[in-house]
Amino acid sequence: MLFAWSQTKLNCNLDVPPPQSEKADPKVGILQKVGGATLSRKKKRAFMEDRRKMMWWWRRRAAVVGGVAIAVGVFLASHCYFRRENMVKAEEALVSMCEERARMIQDQFAVSVNHVHALGILISTFYYQKQPPALDQETFAYYTAKTAFERPLLNGVAYAERVVHSQRETFESQQGWTIMTIKREPSPIQDEYAPVIYSQETVSHIGALDMMSSEEDRENILRARATGKAVLTKPFRLLKSNHLGVVLTFPVYYAGLPEDATVEQRVQTTAGYLGGAFDVESLVENLLRQLAGSQDIEVNVYDITNTTESLIMYGPQDPEGYMPLSHVSMLDFGDPFRKHQMHCRYREKPPLPLSAITTPFGIFVIIMLGGYIVFTAKNRYDNVKEDCRKMEELKVQAEAADVAKSQFLATVSHEIRTPMNGVLGMLDMLLDTDLNLTQKDYAQTAQVCGKALISLINEVLDRAKIEAGKLEIEAVPFDLRSNLDDVISLFSSKSREKGIELAVFVSDKVPEVVTGDPGRFRQIVTNLVGNSVKFTERGHIFVQVHLVGNSNPGIEEVYAGLNGQTRADKVHNFNTLSGFQAPDVRNSWENFKLLLSDEKLAPEVSGSEVTSKKAEENVTLIVSVEDTGIGIPLRAQDRVFTPFMQADSSTSRNYGGTGIGLSITKCLVELMGGQISFVSQPNVGSTFTFSAVVKSCNKDTITETKRSPFEILPSGFTGMKAFLIDGKPVRSAVTQYHLNRLGIAVDISETVKTALISLVGRNGSLKTGRQPYIIFVEKDSWYTGMDVDLHDQLMSLKQNGCILELPKVILLVTHESEKTKAGSIIDTVIMKPLRASTVAACLHHVLGIEKTQRKDMLNGPANLHTLLAGKNILVVDDNKVNLRVAAGILKKYGARVECAESGKDAVSLLQLPHKFDACFMDVQMPEMDGFEATKLIRSMESMANECIKNEGDSIYGEESTIAKWYLPILAMTADVIQATYEKCMQSGMDGYVSKPFEEEQLYQAVAKFLVSKSKSDS
């Protein structure tokens, strides 16, 4: 068989099907299919995840490349833009410089022309209008030399007189020289001549030359006298300097020429011609030398009169410099016939400014940084988005896990508590049979162990519910003092066995009824008191409850203490409950006395009046549990509230427990809006203090609380007087607290002698017929032979007429063995811990007062037989053991029980009309669970009630006398979480009974249905 299993496993691992001869296990096949499907889903999920990551990587890479490309593009575009801007600025600078130079040349030329014009007027005035002429060559040369600075552009000036051919001989005879041509030859015969008669020293070489002999000069002369303006020749090489220049010709007229003279008139009145040679190269060169930036540009001056063949006037014949950037400026020298231009350009390409490189580079860096920031932000966004996606997935998984956990809790609770229900139920039924002492002891031991196991299960489930956030706090009215009495009663037997004082004290300022969660409050106090009882072997356990707002500062300091703070104060006078040293001296008698005195000085307002005045007002309670046990070791105090942690390994071995109780307590305290702290000293004890926020409410709401009937205290003791003999002030205050709750006034004395003195002092009131006195004596104040002494003294007082009758004497003890101290004078002994209801019962017995409790306020469990006797009850459960246990418990109280093992059977049995008075329904059953069955039953009842309303009772025959069908259905399950309770209520169930059954719980569940039903039946 092992070989076959190994072969099958090997085949599975090698993906080889098993041999056909072997029959495959269907469960294994299902698991293989499920595993294969799971593996396929994982592969698909992994593939999709890899694909998503690859797409994300490519998108990120494309974004990086795109960002860099954009940055480079912007860099190039900005660089080109700045280059273009630089060229525009260079062009603008070139235009400005070129225009400036052209304008300066024009201005200089115009000034020279004006001086020539003025010289012409001078000649006309002093040569032609003076007889004899006042101007000769020497005078002209001298004058022109002295005024040459006014004509910087002219190399020299000369005057040529107009001579017609008929006047040539006379002219030559007067001048003493022959008219010569430009070539220095005698001038040939022609109509007129223009010989130079006056010349500046610089151009004296042209004297006697006929200007009309030169074709260029002749053309200028003719145009000048016809227009009356200065005219220019085309560029030519000057004779002396060999520079390019032009000749300026200006006509000189006789006097009397009108301004609107015609051409003929101008020709007739022409006296001569004044000319000057302009050295254009020197002019432009000198001007450019004077201007800044001239070294950066090249200048050419052209005569463009002939557009097809421009004549260069200045500059190189072949243009040089940076040709793409140039400018042309027009030059106006006053000759309308001649046109001139000045071409300007840079010698070199304008240098690229540093800003054209640094600015685009800065923009590139900024864009790259911006892109990096955007990329980083986008990457961060993608990471956050991915984290959010993962968180969403984890949230879904956590929610699914939470649902699974809740379902697991429900299942575990049900599956564990269900067999425990059977165990405890059978043990309970076994204890009701005839057993010998040994058998009964075995059964009781098993029952105690089972209840301990149930308690442990509840603690673990509570911790799990707290971690899952499923634990909710109720808000219902409850009696705080009765709740604490119940807790004290749970540990009364253990405290008596150990002989330790166990007491509770609630301040009168605490409202009588508060709104909160009584179950959780009781659980907190139970955990703390249970730990104290477990770890305390002598001394006391003291529970105190005060109101934070009205408490003495001393008690508030207790709450303010840090966790684990060790009080090192050494107090030798231990005024505590038991006389043993307390762990925290702030809980000493001095502070406790201040609280009591503060309450006595306050106005006497009853608790109900305080509650009514402060209805629905939030109040904060501070609860302290003090013990004189072994304390908590210093090394373990920092982990007191850690789950499943104890002081050391021996704690669980010696005292038991799991270390989970305090962690649950801390969580519950925080859910109730409070905090918890502790003070502990090893071998001295511990004090745990916690706060809880509750609401005060009216006493009328006390009827809504789920209290046991014996918690309503009798009022027959009001006005009674009692004497308490106790030497410990704290303990006497606690006893007084319980007696005051019954309406008994208490006088406290430390000895019997002082008590008898007080008794005699009240003799007058006794004789007036007031109620009898009661003497309570603490065990510590009782000594051997005291019964005889006390009896003799009381008899003496009675015989002397000081008292009418002997008072009742009651002894208060903490251990069973102390009952032997009681003498013949003791009327009864009350075992501690004290409880108001216990004291009331003892006083009823001692005083012979008849109990006046109502019939319906009898002890709940004891009254179960009255409630269930003769009732027809249907129990539905799929577990036969639990079915047998539930039926046996109900039958024990006289009920007639019928059983059903499924929801379908229950629905069949409850077809109307039926005979049942109530139904206990399990909620987890196969085929049809309790929720679905309850919904069907409620649906049937609704239809039946509608038919009764419309058609009367005849539909169910004459036997039906029911006015309205409604069967109380109580959920019966081992699942104790809140969600199940809510589901029970939603499905139409009336109550909730957790397994295993307890008498008090069973009574509270059925009382409100069957009591009212019995009353209606009666």
Report DSSP letters for 512-550, one per residue.
SEEEE-HHHHHHHHHHHHHHHHHH-SSSEEEEEEEETTT
Same domain, 385 and 295: no
CB 270 within 8 A of CB 252: yes
What's the pLDDT score for residue 37?
56
Specify if 20 maps to a domain.
no
Q: Pairing state of beta strands 618-627 and 540-547?
A: antiparallel
Single residue among 434, 449, 464 that ends a domain in this structure: 449
Same domain, 707 and 726: no
Asked whether the predicted pLDDT for residue 863 surpasses 70, the reply is no
Asked whether the predicted pLDDT for residue 806 surpasses 60, the reply is yes
Total domain count for the chain?
A: 5
Single residue among 324, 346, 368 that ends a domain in this structure: 346
Q: What percent of the chain has pLDDT over 90?
A: 7
What's the pLDDT score for residue 121?
86
Instruction: List, in order, residues 6 or more apart from 72 with CB less than 8 Å away.
Output: 364
Specify if 83 maps to a domain.
no
More confident residue, 74 or 16: 74
Same domain, 707 and 829: no
More confident residue, 569 or 518: 518
Q: pLDDT class for 715, splitting at 50, 70, 90? A: confident
Sign of the C-alpha dihedral computed for residues 983, 987, 988 and 989 taken in this order: negative
Instruction: List, in order, residues 6 or more apart from 112 with CB less than 8 Å away.
Output: 150, 151, 152, 153, 154, 248, 276, 278
Same domain, 293 and 156: yes
94-98, 141-145, 976-980: least confident range = 976-980
Task: Write phi, then psi, for 603 (nearest 5 degrees).
Answer: -60, 140
475-489, 742-756, 768-782: least confident range = 768-782
Specify if 97 maps to a domain.
no
Q: What is the DSSP string of 570-628?
A: --SS--SSSSSPPS-GGGSHHHHHHHHHHHHHS----HHHHHHHTTT-EEEEEEEEEE-
Same domain, 166 and 250: yes
- Please, is 715 exposed, middle or buried when counting C-beta atoms within 10 Å of its C-beta (0-12, 13-18, 19+)? exposed
Same domain, 541 and 624: yes
Q: pLDDT class for 545, splitting at 50, 70, 90? A: very high
Domain that holds residue 1004: 860-1017
Single residue among 789, 822, 853 that ends a domain in this structure: 853
pLDDT in tens, 598-613: 555 554 444 444 444 4
Query: Which of the residue ranges 69-73, 579-583, 984-988 has the most confident prediction, judged by mean pLDDT?
Result: 69-73
Q: How many CA atoms lie within 13 A of 613 on its CB side?
A: 9
What's the pLDDT score for residue 771?
53
| Cα→Cα distances 707→254, 454, 490, Å | 151, 23, 16
Same domain, 550 and 430: no
First to last CA, the chain: 72
49-53, 256-260, 296-300, 823-827: least confident range = 823-827
What's the pLDDT score for residue 862?
54
Which CATH number belongs to the domain containing residue 983 in this structure?
3.40.50.2300
Asked whether the predicted pLDDT for residue 1006 surpasses 80, the reply is no
Specify if 370 maps to a domain.
yes
Q: pLDDT class for 958, splitting at 50, 70, 90? A: very low
Specify if 14 maps to a domain.
no
What's the pLDDT score for residue 195?
93
What's the pLDDT score for residue 295?
59
Same domain, 341 and 425: no
Mean pLDDT of 698-710: 47
Specify if 94 maps to a domain.
no
Same domain, 184 and 324: yes
Which CATH number belongs to the domain containing residue 654 in this structure?
3.30.565.10
Specify if 689 maps to a domain.
yes
Same domain, 477 and 590: yes
Cα 132 from chain centre: 119
Query: Which residue type sits at 633?
Result: P
Same domain, 340 and 420: no
Measured CA angle at 658 (ends 656, 660), to 5 deg: 135
Query: Which of the residue ranges 231-235, 447-451, 540-544, 637-641 has the most confident prediction, judged by mean pLDDT?
Result: 540-544
DSSP 188: P
Q: What is the DSSP string of 982-993?
A: HHHHHHT--EEE
What's the pLDDT score for residue 124?
84
Asked whether the predicted pLDDT for residue 2 surpasses 50, the reply is no
Average pLDDT value for the chain = 78
pLDDT in tens, 199-219: 888 888 888 888 888 888 888
Asked whether the predicted pLDDT for residue 784 surpasses 80, the reply is no
pLDDT in tens, 403-418: 777 677 667 766 777 7
Mean pLDDT of 218-239: 84
Asked whether the predicted pLDDT for residue 304 surpasses 70, the reply is yes
What's the pLDDT score for residue 503?
92
Same domain, 381 and 480: no
Q: pLDDT class for 14, splitting at 50, 70, 90? A: very low
Task: Write phi, then psi, for 676 (nearest 5 degrees).
Answer: -135, 140
What's the pLDDT score for residue 104?
85
CB 525 within 8 A of CB 543: yes
Instruction: List, in order, residues 6 or more apart from 353 with CB less than 8 Å away.
Output: 82, 86
What's the pLDDT score for residue 528?
92
What's the pLDDT score for residue 689?
92
Tokens in use for 754? 């002082």
Specify if 70 maps to a domain.
no
49-53, 225-229, 637-641, 647-651: least confident range = 647-651
Which CATH number belongs to the domain containing residue 257 in this structure?
3.30.450.350
